[in-house]
Amino acid sequence: MNDGELDSIIPDDNVSIHIVYVGGIPASFAELGPRKPPNDIKRELHLTYFGLVT
């Protein structure tokens, strides 16, 4: 993913990025993004990206 694509995702109100800290140091991150199914009856939350920091 290039910087331009990333810059369009981060400020999106429908996307949330979470960082897990262990001992004050970033250990992992996750990007959550909602998707609306075709039947429009329920909303789902998708784990779009997950990463571990070593």
Residue 37 has pLDDT above 60, yes or no: no
18, pLDDT greater than 70: yes
Whether residue 19 contacts residue 1, with contact meaning beta carbons closer than 8 Å, is answered with no
Distance CA 3, CA 41 (A): 35
User: Which regions of the chain does DSSP assign to beta strands (E)?
Assistant: 16-22, 25-35, 44-52
Evaluate if pTM is beyond 0.85.
no
Which DSSP category does 42 fall into? -
Other beta carbons less than 10 A from residue 17's beta carbon: 13
Max Cα–Cα distance, the chain, nearest Å: 44
Return the H-helix or E-strand segment holding 36: none
| pLDDT, position 30 | 93
